[in-house]
């Protein structure tokens, strides 16, 4: 639904482009795991308020009219859910932006899906 990745977008918006680009390159070449990327990324953002990161997600490039499609489904009694294997705050921000009713995130420690 979005152009690029949430990690790259946040990196650009919050001044960590080089860190994120390096991590994504290493992930693509198999030099690091998803968990290692998440841990390194978390260190880069440990001093960033979650509200600032959520705000940064609001201008991510995305498919046109997601909100309209989600509203149509919601108004037709079709439950809408956004799911992520990334950080919950990013999906939460986009769920609020686009009007999704539910949010599901993968807990990386237990590999279980957590739904709100």
Residue 110 φ/ψ region, left for φ over 0, alpha for ψ in the -120 to 50 degree band, beta for the rest: alpha
- What pLDDT, in 10s, does the model give residues 61-116? 888 889 999 999 999 999 999 887 767 888 888 899 999 998 887 655 555 555 55
Closest CA to 91 of 65, 54, 61, 56: 54
Q: Domain segments of the chain: what residues?
A: 6-115
**Predicted TM-score of the model (pTM):** 0.67
CATH value of 6-115 in 3.40.50.720, 3.40.50.300, 3.40.50.1000, 3.30.470.20: 3.40.50.1000
């Amino acid at each position: 639904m979005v152009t690029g990745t949430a990690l790259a977008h946040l990196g650009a918006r919050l001044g960590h482009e080089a860190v994120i680009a390096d991590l994504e390159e290493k992930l693509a070449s198999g030099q690091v795991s998803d968990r290692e990327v998440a841990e390194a990324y978390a260190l880069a953002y440990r001093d960033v308020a979650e509200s600032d990161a959520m705000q940064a997600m609001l201008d991510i490039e995305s498919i046109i009219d997601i909100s309209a499609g989600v509203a149509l489904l919601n108004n037709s009694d079709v439950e809408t859910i956004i799911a992520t294997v990334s950080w919950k705050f990013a999906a939460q921000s986009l769920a609020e932006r686009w009007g999704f009713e539910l949010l599901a995130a993968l807990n990386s420690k237990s590999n279980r899906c957590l739904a709100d």
